[in-house]
Structure 1
Amino acid sequence: MANKEEKPEGKESSWKDFIYNPRTGEFLGRTASSWALIFLFYVVFYGFLAGMFSLTMWVMLQTLDDYTPRYRDRVANPGLMIRPSDLDIKINLSNPQQYSSYVQDLERFLLDYNDILQEQNVQCPEGKYFLQDNEEEKKVCQFMRSQLRQCSGLADTTFGFSEGQPCVLIKMNRVIGLMPRGQPYVNCTAKRETPLQMQYFPTEGHIDKMYFPYYGKKAHAKYVQPLVAVKLQLNEQDYNIPLTIECKVEGTDLRNNDERDKFLGRITFRVKVTK
């Protein structure tokens, strides 16, 4: 009697036959015609899905406007932003390198407002919306950098940082079609008992209606937002103390008191000056 059971004939080669069986011509358990039918099915199936996706995308794109978003209900009111783009501004008067980044940020931002560039734009009548519904390429109202006067960076290239009376530029975010009612202006207050002296450019922080409405990036390619510059007139008594400043858009129907959105129609930042 044999000590070991004899293995059935062909047992050792069963896995090789699964990969390719020369007797039946099957590869991985299927014949070439079977694999061809499966491949054809998936080509047709995924081709149909791709066609359906392309068709639905094409139909959806026909409902969109190249110039105006279809749904704008969530951005009906603009937020406020500042330049330099830092909500915690720290100034060391004895170290110009410390505040040089703020000065460079302001200078870069104001390049589009240089008077030479703005002279190419239109001198719009003040106090009126600049409506251009029938023009495909919208014109832009002039906003001269020189309007910011002491905060323009032209006479004082440090924007007041070197003297401890820094300038902060405030702008509203762009909202297509926005036409604020009333006479919008920016008002800033320091969160402390005694008021902080500030100077606004343009006068009284006025935002003229002629810069509205905005028609979108494609139609209004050269548009620049109107700015309000606030010069914080600090003195030595204000040094070494973090000052919290809140600026709001007033005199209009724009919202500025939503507790769920701290940047809607307002912005809060801190300034600290040390010698």
Structure 2
Amino acid sequence: MASNEDKPAAKEDENAGSWKDSIFNPRTGEFCGRTAKSWGLILLFYLVFYAFLAGMFVLTIWVMLLTLDDYVPKYRDRVPHPGLVIRPKQLDMLFNKSQPLQFAPYVQTLESFLQHYNDTEQERNVACAAGGYFEQEGEVGEQRKVCQFKRSDLSLCSGLSDSTFGYTEGKPCVLLKMNRIIGLKPRGDPYVNCTAKERYVQPLVAVKLLLNKDDYNTELTIECRIEGSDLRNNDDRDKFLGRVTFRITVKE
């Protein structure tokens, strides 16, 4: 007859065996409650299921790409009018004209930005006639040509005759650029007014601020606007639509 002390030990062995069997049962060959065949079938199901989902995703992306044009966006009604941005990308500029290290970041930004406008690069493009639109017809995917816009056209703000873009003399240059809106054909004679494809580069307007001693050590607020009969520059909800405002302080 088994003693009372042997019963708890036997019960513990039974519980340990039951716990081990739930992981792997050597009698039935089950692992975590499933046989090898059952595990194989469920893995095969999920493999086919996720392969089908991946195939559907790739198919929908492929169909969507077929509807897109490499040159013209499908939807263009969200941004009907161009914005205006400046280089350097600073809306608050402060520097001492006698301290080159203070205006060096602005000069480096302009020099880097104008690298694609170098005359040697632009001579590879087409010399388009002024005052007209340069329109091209051709097959989809055909390489388009682009018009020249030479760095030397920026004159005193080209950085060619003055590598500091006027910052060292306290008459700094800023470059204005319209955001490109595909299909936009401005009417009349659009211009930028300032008060107080492969190898394609957007035309620029260079503004040289002819400051004098009375303007130094004072924060000046300057607003530039695009003026055109079919261009907007007075949207209160978008302060960069057709205009840009920046502040500059030149110390001596």
1:257 equivalent in alignment to 2:234: yes
CA RMSD of aligned residues (A): 1.8
Once the two structures are superposed, the pairs formed by residues 140-151 of structure 1 within 5 Å of their partners are: 140-151=146-157
Structure 2 CA distance for partners of 1:119 and 1:52, relative to 1, 3 Å: closer
Partner Cα distance (2:175, 2:213) in 1: 23
Of 106, 119, 123, the residue aligned with 1:102 is 106
Partner Cα distance (2:169, 2:35) in 1: 87
Structure-2 residue corresponding to 1:225: 202
Partner Cα distance (2:16, 2:158) in 1: 88
Structure 1 counterpart SS, 2:14: coil
Structure-1 residue corresponding to 2:163: 157
- How high is the TM-score relative to the length of structure 1? 0.83
Once the two structures are superposed, the pairs formed by residues 226-241 of structure 1 within 5 Å of their partners are: 226-241=203-218
Partner Cα distance (2:229, 2:137) in 1: 23
Partner Cα distance (2:46, 2:25) in 1: 25
Residue 156 of structure 1, CA deviation: 1.9
Unmatched runs of 5 consecutive residues or more in structure 2: none
Decide whether the 8 Å contact of 2:186 with 2:228 is kept in 1. Answer: no
Partner Cα distance (1:153, 1:31) in 2: 77
Partner Cα distance (1:133, 1:179) in 2: 17
Structure-2 residue corresponding to 1:217: none
1:77 equivalent in alignment to 2:87: no
Structure 2 CA distance for partners of 1:117 and 1:43, relative to 1, 3 Å: closer
Instruction: Give deviations 1:231-268, integer Å, cap 9, x for gaps.
Output: 11111111111101110100231221111111111111
Decide whether the 8 Å contact of 2:118 with 2:151 is kept in 1. Answer: yes
Residue 98 of structure 1, CA deviation: 1.0
Decide whether the 8 Å contact of 1:245 with 1:268 is kept in 2. Answer: yes
Partner Cα distance (2:239, 2:169) in 1: 30
The one-letter amino acid of 2:160's match is: L
The one-letter amino acid of 1:15's match is: W
The one-letter amino acid of 2:200's match is: Y
Structure-2 residue corresponding to 1:198: none
Structure-2 residue corresponding to 1:272: 249
Residue 117 of structure 1, CA deviation: 2.2
Partner Cα distance (1:131, 1:43) in 2: 52
Instruction: Give deviations 1:181-238, integer Å, cap 9, x for gaps.
Output: 2211001112xxxxxxxxxxxxxxxxxxxxxxxxxxxxx2111111111111111111
Residue 77 of structure 1, CA deviation: 1.7
- How high is the TM-score relative to the length of structure 2? 0.90
Once the two structures are superposed, the pairs formed by residues 56-135 of structure 1 within 5 Å of their partners are: 56-134=60-138
Unmatched runs of 5 consecutive residues or more in structure 1: 191-219
Structure 1 counterpart SS, 2:103: helix
Q: Which moved more, 1:38-47 or 1:5-14?
A: 5-14
1:31 equivalent in alignment to 2:35: yes
Partner Cα distance (2:125, 2:48) in 1: 56
Structure-2 residue corresponding to 1:216: none
Partner Cα distance (2:56, 2:115) in 1: 48
1:12 equivalent in alignment to 2:16: yes
- Count the aligned residue pairs: 246
Structure 1 counterpart SS, 2:205: strand
Residue 28 of structure 1, CA deviation: 0.8
Decide whether the 8 Å contact of 1:91 with 1:164 is kept in 2. Answer: no
Decide whether the 8 Å contact of 1:83 with 1:169 is kept in 2. Answer: yes
Instruction: Give deviations 1:19-77, integer Å, cap 9, x for gaps.
Output: 11111221111122221221122122212212222222222122112222211222222
Decide whether the 8 Å contact of 1:80 with 1:265 is kept in 2. Answer: yes
Residue 174 of structure 1, CA deviation: 2.0
